[in-house]
Structure 1
């Protein structure tokens, strides 16, 4: 049955998936997206598979990664939309973190217990286009090249501008903003009634580089890299070069390349982006700190000088909505740093919650929006905290002996007492328990791990049966965890 028309600002990943789910539930949905249709104009970003050497297009002006980590929460939202199988056909499985030390050695730290607990590297552009197709097939109307200029929430009207700057005004009853961390709707809502906005900068930035497919590299380089097939590195892993205070990571793309991201302090003493003003300085830095990685990036100078330094911040809002007239979702409401790979997954989880709430009470948007914030805000705050903590873990802890001891002990407990211990990363990545629960449970578990290792620092000397009893007596059984 037809419901009222919903106006959506933003046709990116979260906006397109939300639009499709709302249309499936009987709502008429119109989406206004400031960018051109990527299915016609091409999605900004690089693809060494389709570009000749020296003619590769530059990274999109926002500096955004061309691939993302898809985990169970995002997959479950895609299953709800009937799209999970199509997406996985376009993704690369990542079993764990491949940690590269300063001596060129590498070791895999699995994310889960086996290949049923993996994450997937997906192309942002390919995923966005798939979601746009699915939404249109469900009846969603998209209007591309339309930027939100302003909104009159009392008169329930919005003003848009096209690429030429020509403005027009349209009626818009219920407006939902899925237009990302730089949300124009959020700015308009905040001008109408302050939302309690707070942005915390990490003080670190990032720059995108690229490892091309193996066929573009000299044979001598490949013999040392451990790559196979068309990939210069092991394809089924998220690669990390942790260096304490900074790091590089690399995620595989389906055509054989890897997207490499350098994370560094933005300012301050070396190393920082302020002390690496150009490719020459960066090359010397990589030669010293990432000597095994640099030979895999033949376009290093072009990439470093041509790509912007991205910023990393966390967005907090006291309010996500204006009664029943306007609501923010995804990064527009709770942008986080990318170090848990959960930004997209959290946003996709948002879409299922909101679509179900609206379907249950289509004529009470004020109550729906309030309930959506009540349910999702504590979880958004929790994953924001865990993403910040995971940055420290990725750049510092993965090579730390005490961290590795806790990881080893945790793996033993997961086998011996699976109802009472599950690593926090697994709770976040491979289950549907609320993020807020995962944060608190993880802290409680960590306290007990620290207690055990404080008494007996060597894992081999710990009585695992006694350790299991400690967890069973101090923690309630974990809630049902099976995913899918």
Structure 2
């Protein structure tokens, strides 16, 4: 057991609440601050992307006995359902039999996590705006406005879990040798909604991630427990086929009739949802260092916000907590070295998942409807099934294993080069599962050893 500390966590999101549970179980006094109202008392909708929970996130939950609680509000998703035409749906299973990710409503999960943290003994302070932190003392400053009167609260250690536009990180950015970058995608997103059938059942297969890939834009849908689906339309902000180009009801209806005709019956409130819900932005944010001495540390999106196309924002944040917990086991009360090792071990891996997430938009929006890409996936699955000790597809490495993201990315790039050679074989469409292909892959793999 560590020597008990008084710890502040800024941000009551998913990472902040789970971190609070971990630290409380270590015997610390934990206070969580959030400038927003208690999420359990508000209607959470209009600008969300459903979350997917995979092995890394499940591990972080199971290590504190919360796996059953959270999986109980999730829906297992075993495959992609690619809507390539009005009446054509191709299915791509994610992994081997039994390997699934879980679709979770962000609002429902966040409410559950706050409940679980309170049950563990964490104390929450909602509608409290933290504007600053003293890096040398961990003291936080709270006030109604940024330029108004502040009052301070003293802590032994403060964590910034307050998202991509973190106030705690903002304070750290004002020190020398702090590197920071943010890059907005030209793609934005808008939430839409598929209601349940009259009997409460789902209008589409609930165990699939539904994707309508259309090149530079796409529609995506994930199921909720109540029979509904949360849909997300990803599009450029401006230009042809963009949010800017859809200004009227007629333009919107014509656009969906042309590109998503099979959604007409399942999205009855398209016009209302589209013009009511905001258009949101997507940003990748990187920074370093994440910590200051033994007093202040960043975690989750506050230090590595990523775009959502691999479904690993929450999983990467939860894995931060797993790594931090491992460092606590290793170092005990030596918080300075503990935090130093935490940031140095995580930084290469969060950079890697940021790269993978960025690439996956191209895969989901374009390649999932490409015959060459589909053939590559078929060959990879065939070879992996024959030689599971020699080949694990990149998606499985990222989603169904705990291998460091940076290693998964490097191996994935190597495997992709092999597949480029395989796809150049003459008549590969007919001979994709031949001895020739198997021998070539085995030979190429030897160069990695």
TM > 0.5 fold call: yes
| Structure 2 equivalent of residue 449 of structure 1 | 419
1:248 is paired with a residue whose SS is strand
Aligned 8 A contact 1:98 1:106 in 2: yes
Match of 1:234 among 205, 208, 211: 205
Separation (CA, whole Å) in 2 of partners of 1:191 and 1:335: 19
- Alpha-carbon offset, residue 459 of structure 1: 4.2
Separation (CA, whole Å) in 2 of partners of 1:26 and 1:286: 54
Q: Does 1:210 align with 2:210?
A: no
Moved more, 140-149 or 338-347: 140-149
Q: Does 1:185 align with 2:146?
A: no
Q: Does 1:13 align with 2:17?
A: no
Separation (CA, whole Å) in 2 of partners of 1:458 and 1:477: 23
Q: CA RMSD in A?
A: 2.2
Off by >3 Å, runs of 4+ in structure 1: 162-167, 462-478
Q: Does 1:267 align with 2:205?
A: no
Q: Does 1:338 align with 2:281?
A: no
After superposition, the C-alpha distances for 1:55-110 in whole angstroms (9 at most, x for unaligned) are xxxx2xxx232x21111111111111211111111111111110001333112111
- Alpha-carbon offset, residue 476 of structure 1: 7.1
Q: Does 1:151 align with 2:122?
A: no
| Structure 1 equivalent of residue 76 of structure 2 | 93
1:20 is paired with a residue whose SS is helix
After superposition, the C-alpha distances for 1:320-365 in whole angstroms (9 at most, x for unaligned) are 1223221111111000000000100111111111123134324322
Q: Check 1:35–1:18 CA distance in 2 against 1; reply closer, same or farther (3 A cut).
A: same
Q: Check 1:123–1:336 CA distance in 2 against 1; reply closer, same or farther (3 A cut).
A: same
Separation (CA, whole Å) in 1 of partners of 2:206 and 2:224: 8
- Alpha-carbon offset, residue 167 of structure 1: 3.7
TM-score (norm 2): 0.94
| Structure 1 equivalent of residue 216 of structure 2 | 245
| Structure 1 equivalent of residue 39 of structure 2 | 38
Moved more, 163-172 or 10-19: 163-172
Structure 1 spans left out of the alignment, 5+ residues:
46-58, 217-228, 479-484
The number of equivalent residue pairs is 447
Separation (CA, whole Å) in 2 of partners of 1:477 and 1:163: 60
Separation (CA, whole Å) in 2 of partners of 1:131 and 1:473: 49
Match of 2:88 among 105, 110, 115: 105
Separation (CA, whole Å) in 1 of partners of 2:447 and 2:388: 9
- Alpha-carbon offset, residue 310 of structure 1: 0.7
How is 1:392-407 mapped onto 2 (pairs within 5 angstroms)?
392-407=362-377
Q: Check 1:194–1:277 CA distance in 2 against 1; reply closer, same or farther (3 A cut).
A: farther
1:210 is paired with a residue whose SS is strand
Aligned 8 A contact 1:5 1:27 in 2: yes
Q: Does 1:412 align with 2:375?
A: no
Match of 2:56 among 68, 73, 77: 73
Separation (CA, whole Å) in 1 of partners of 2:166 and 2:177: 14
Structure 2 spans left out of the alignment, 5+ residues:
none
| Structure 1 equivalent of residue 355 of structure 2 | 385
